[in-house]
């Protein structure tokens, strides 16, 4: 412990995760016991209000139990790891770039609600509004496990605020999720297969504007994977983080190959990538968010865009575990 700080941190994170899991289950059990006792008390005294309140608590516990059952499925090799999340705008200029920015905010809000720590690794602003691309680092137990089903193309339908004729526009942006690779996983990269470029970090300007080429982009030639980092002021630090991101992307690619080899049919149904739409967000002429893999819907897109994603993620995980068959969280109960 004292001689290996990295191993000590890893062990303490594991301990914290176990401690939080045990504590939450004990609290769950106590709430269940208390609710049952309240119902019995209410029946004895003929107090309908007590019974109703206890029953509402039980309904909440049932929802929580279903969520925990889904979380128990997060037993993949990298599910417990931190994760990177990339957002890229599609064709469509300002409208698409604004949509990419909305997605970036949505995932940031979701992560913060889960108690995760979020770091912005790099961002490329749009010419007029929004972003061309951005990368988040989400730190927390099971961050990758929860977010891994969000990879794919997201479609937005709305009246464009950038159209003077108030016409309805359809925009596309892609999301890519891949796990942070810890030191226990060895990924060999031949540096001669990579091209390293430096460029000036983008930003809003002002007295602290970056005037040096500190941002780093690494292109892995054999795979075509490109990663970039501009979080730090130091080019050296950005390069080190970019190498970590590349290792993570290559590792995620290997995990995907294993999944495809294990179940070709399921992989074909859950294939991720540009051109494969996973979810539609319709703001006009009606209000609806629908996941095209699971059929889960929400008629409150403003809540979803503010980070209310758990129902979609839980159903997508259940769908994945069931081999691509249509499934919801209730199927696990």
Q: What is the DSSP string of 10-60?
A: HHHHHHHHHHHHHHHHHHHHHHHHHHHHHHHHHHHHT-HHHHHHHHHHHHH
| pLDDT at residue 101, as a whole number | 95
State mean pLDDT over 272-296. Answer: 84
| pLDDT at residue 164, as a whole number | 75
Say yes or no to pLDDT of 144 above 60: yes
Q: How many CB atoms within 10 Å of residue 100?
A: 28
State mean pLDDT over 283-306. Answer: 95
- 212-226, 288-302, 315-329: least confident range: 315-329
Whole-model pTM over 0.85:
no
Which tokens in the block code for residue 220?
Answer: 């892995």
- 2-6, 41-45, 86-90, 294-298: least confident range: 2-6
| pLDDT at residue 132, as a whole number | 92
Contacts 24+ apart (CB under 8 A), 116-124: 116/140, 116/143, 119/231, 120/231, 121/84, 121/229, 121/230, 121/231, 121/241, 121/245, 122/215, 122/228, 122/229, 122/230, 122/231, 123/202, 123/230, 124/202
Residue 291 and residue 316 in contact, taking contact as beta carbons nearer than 8 Å:
yes
- 208-212, 234-238, 258-262, 296-300: least confident range: 208-212
Range among 13-22, 40-49, 87-96, 188-197 rated most confident: 40-49
State mean pLDDT over 285-295. Answer: 94
Dihedral sign (CA 253, 255, 260, 265): negative
Residue 136 and residue 61 in contact, taking contact as beta carbons nearer than 8 Å:
no
pLDDT band at 269 (very low <50, low <70, confident <90, very high): very low
- Percent of the chain clearing pLDDT 70 (strictly above): 86
Say yes or no to pLDDT of 294 above 90: yes
310-321 helix and 48-71 helix, angle to the nearest 10 degrees: 50
| pLDDT at residue 261, as a whole number | 57
Say yes or no to pLDDT of 283 above 90: yes
| pLDDT at residue 156, as a whole number | 93
Q: How many CB atoms within 10 Å of residue 154?
A: 23
């Amino acid at each position: 412990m004292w001689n290996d700080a990295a191993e000590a941190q890893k062990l303490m994170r594991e301990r914290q995760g176990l401690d939080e899991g045990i504590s939450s289950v004990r609290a769950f059990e106590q709430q269940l016991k208390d609710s049952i006792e309240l119902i019995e008390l209410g029946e004895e005294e003929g107090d309908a209000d007590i019974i109703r309140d206890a029953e509402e608590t039980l309904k909440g516990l049932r929802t929580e139990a279903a969520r925990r059952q889904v979380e128990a499925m997060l037993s993949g090799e990298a599910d417990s790891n931190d994760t990177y999340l990339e957002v890229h705008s599609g064709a469509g200029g300002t409208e698409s770039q604004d949509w990419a920015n909305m997605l970036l905010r949505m995932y940031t809000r979701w992560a913060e609600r889960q108690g995760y720590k979020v770091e912005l690794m790099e961002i490329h602003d749009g010419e007029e509004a929004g972003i061309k691309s951005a990368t988040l680092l989400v730190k927390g137990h099971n961050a990758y496990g929860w977010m891994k089903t969000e990879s794919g193309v997201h479609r937005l339908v709305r009246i464009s605020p950038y159209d003077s004729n108030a016409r309805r526009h359809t925009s596309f942006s892609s999301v890519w999720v891949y796990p942070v690779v810890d030191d226990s996983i060895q990924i060999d990269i031949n540096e001669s297969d990579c091209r390293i470029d430096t460029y000036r970090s983008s930003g809003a300007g002002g007295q602290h504007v970056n005037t040096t080429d500190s941002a780093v982009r690494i292109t892995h030639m054999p795979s075509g994977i490109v990663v970039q980092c501009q979080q730090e002021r130091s080019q050296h630090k950005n390069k080190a983080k970019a190498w970590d991101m590349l290792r993570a992307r290559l590792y995620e690619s290997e995990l995907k190959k294993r999944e495809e080899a294990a179940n070709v049919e399921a992989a074909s149904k859950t294939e991720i990538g540009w051109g494969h739409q996973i979810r539609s967000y319709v703001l006009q002429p009606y209000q609806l968010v629908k996941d095209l893999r699971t059929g889960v819907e929400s008629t409150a897109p403003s809540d979803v865009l503010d980070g209310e994603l758990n129902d979609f993620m839980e159903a997508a995980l259940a769908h994945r575990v069931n081999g691509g068959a249509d499934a919801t969280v209730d199927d696990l109960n």
